[in-house]
Amino acid sequence: MSMQTGLILLGLLVTFFRYPITESPTGTDNFYYISAVKAILDSGEIFWAENLLSLYGLFPGTTPLGSLILATVITEVSGMSVHDYHLLHSIFFSLIFTFGIFILAGEFTTNYRSRWFSALAFSLAPRFLTFTTWRFSLRLSLIAILPFFLWLILRLVNEKYGRKPKKLLILLLLFALLLPSFHRMGLLLPGFFLSFIISLLLWQWQEKALNRERAGRQVFLFILFIATYLYYLQYLDFSPYSPNDDLIGVYYLNDGTILSTVVNLGFYYLINAGPIMFLSLIGIIFWIQEGRVSFSYIFAFTLLALSFFVISDLVYIPYLFTFFILLFVAPGIDFFIDNLQDYKTRLRVFLISLLILLVVFSNLDLSYRVNAHDKEEFYYSYNVRESSISVGHWIDENFYSEILESNDMKRERRVIAYTDSVSSGDLGELSSNKIEVSEMDIERRSIMDLYWFSEDHLWEWKNESNQTKLDRNLSLVNLAMANFSGQSSTSSMTLSSYYKSMPNYNFEIYCNDELSLYWTNNY
């Protein structure tokens, strides 16, 4: 199979797995992003982006604007619905991500088949497949661009195709400015540059050693020591993220020892990366066998090692850690190709079996995740339900710029995306157009607060209470939770006790089988 044919097949597989298996878009946060895009389209401008920090979501009440601007431009130029953009975003950035990995894998191997399977493994990894299924994900935008950023870093050192340092540095600077505008994970770029410096020093030491093979193994052991030590520090709570009971306590071992956390995290990332992760382990072992390795290996392993300091974070780090693990898939496949090259039939069987394993496991895992989210007792599903769309259209036809609150935060955002109203949970966002910035006092946080204490913004409101004086005119009640006093469908968020007395002093104005809508005056 030619390279062109193989890449077309790769693109078709990626697209096929992004074909919707649900009746409507999925997710929760993405529906807020849709509302923000609608606000831009309605006003004709990003009215909340007067401060430059808003581009990166560092100013209070803002979200990184990169993906929002792109979505606005595409929907405006093409004339498509903002809701149709969900699917376009998923497919487009998944393809960008996949072919970016194919290019990046070229810095780890020259074997076309290894690069091809590495790209497919990334694309079908459960962690990445889940949030690329009919969803407007800001994380996807950043993850899709990340391979090109890492490729540029590696090109600064690798000399296979010649180097143009000035052009590479300019492109790196552009990417460094661009990445944080797509998602706050881009603020972790200092860690990438630290990894680059450490890796460069270790690689130069290896190349200058009299016995480069032995030096290469020593480099491996040194980075492994760093990973172990950093993991021990976060286990002792000397880290922005300490071991999370939701992760550590619910899987296989529950005795609270460091061994149990290692085992549980191992299973956790096996689920995130898929069984293909074992090829990554073989790829790392391949390093030990060879001894002397390229800068790409050292850089990838250093990224992986430094991640152990924050490995227990369950919000952002799993995306990056899974990414770093899978960087070694290509070398792992190289190992089998090198050892089976004299056995053509066995090699062919291995590659076909690998393809079947990737496709079948990813399909089963995605189906399981979708079905596992269905909780009929709470009227909740993986995708937005027709009842939410119906009430959203009704609000849009009968009200204008009302504030909607709900006893179900997930349902609230999903409904709001189909209206011109504002979610009470997002009143603090400047895109709601309910905050007069000139009347708000801001205070600068320290860089330590941003990184060590995981604050979202570099600035904060000093008089945030001023935002709470707005009237909430509409109340959406998930009828399955009427007696839950505002408990959300994920049992993670609670609102006020207002719902305890709900229809006693309100007026029901709309109702379907799952949702009731109430109007209240100046609540």
| CA-wise closest residue to 87 among 27, 46, 6, 43 | 27
Which is nearest to 231 in space by CA: 284, 269, 280? 269
Q: Are strands 403-406 and 459-461 parallel, antiparallel or unpaired?
A: unpaired
DSSP string, 212-251: HHHHHHHHHHHHHHHHHHHHHHHHTT-SSSPPPHHHHSSS
* pLDDT at 249 > cutoff 60: no
Question: Contact at 8 Å (CB) between 16 and 129?
Answer: no
Q: How many CB atoms lie within 10 A of CB 286?
A: 17
DSSP H or E stretch at residue 442: strand 442-444
Question: With bands split at pLDDT 50, 70 and 90, how would you rate the model's confidence at 495?
Answer: very low
At residue 477, what are phi and psi to the nearest 5 degrees?
A: -115, 120
Angle at 295 between CA 267 and CA 99, to 5 degrees: 65
Q: What is the mean pLDDT of residues 232-251?
A: 66
Query: Which pLDDT score is estimated for 496?
Result: 42
Q: What percent of the chain has pLDDT over 70?
A: 88
Contact between 327 and 300 (Cβ < 8 Å):
yes
User: Could you give the angle at the alpha carbon of 184 between the alpha carbons of 88 and 324, nearest 5°?
Assistant: 80
For position 242, what pLDDT does the model report?
A: 62
The pLDDT of residue 177: 92
- Asked if the model's pLDDT at residue 229 lies above 50, the reply is yes
459 three-state secondary structure: strand
Q: What pLDDT, on a 0 to 100 scale, did the predictor assign at position 388?
A: 95
**pLDDT mean over 177-199:** 92
pTM of the model: 0.90
Tell me the average pLDDT across 97-108. Answer: 96
Average pLDDT over residues 372-377: 84
The radius of gyration of the chain's CA atoms, rounded to the nearest angstrom, is 25
Region 248-269: mean pLDDT is 72
Is residue 66 over pLDDT 80?
yes
Per-residue pLDDT tens digits for 262-285:
888 888 888 889 888 999 999 888
**In the chain, where the domains are located:** 3-25+83-372, 378-519
Report the candidate in 388, 390, 377, 432 with the shortest Cα–Cα distance to residue 412.
388
Q: Judge whether 85 and 136 are in contact, CB under 8 Å.
A: yes
- Farthest-apart Cα atoms in the chain, separation: 83
Give the pLDDT confidence of 392-409 residue by residue, as tens digits. 999 999 888 788 888 888
Q: What's the pLDDT band for 493 if we cut at 50, 70, 90?
A: very low
DSSP letters for 53-106: GGGGT-STT----HHHHHHHHHHHHH---TTTHHHHHHHHHHHHHHHHHHHHHT
Statement: residue 502 has pLDDT above 80: no
Whether residue 251 is predicted with pLDDT greater than 70 in this model: the reply is no
Q: What's the mean per-residue pLDDT of the chain?
A: 85
Task: Give the SS3 label for residue 317.
Answer: helix
Backbone angles phi, psi at 60, to 5 degrees: -55, 140
Lowest mean pLDDT among 58-67, 168-177, 411-420, 491-500: 491-500
Structure tokens at 161: 């195709």
In whole angstroms, give the CA distance from residue 437 to residue 127. Answer: 38
- Cα 291 to its chain centre, rounded Å, is 34
Rounded CA separation 425/83 (Å): 21
Residues 6+ apart with CB under 8 A from 377: 480
Residue 295 pLDDT > 90, yes or no? yes
Which pLDDT tens digit goes with each residue over 118-175? 999 999 999 999 889 899 999 999 999 999 999 999 998 876 555 677 888 899 999 9
- Neighbouring residues of 67: CB distance < 8 A, sequence distance ≥ 6: 33, 89, 136, 138, 141, 182, 183
pLDDT at residue 160 in the model: 57
Q: What is the pLDDT of residue 516?
A: 86
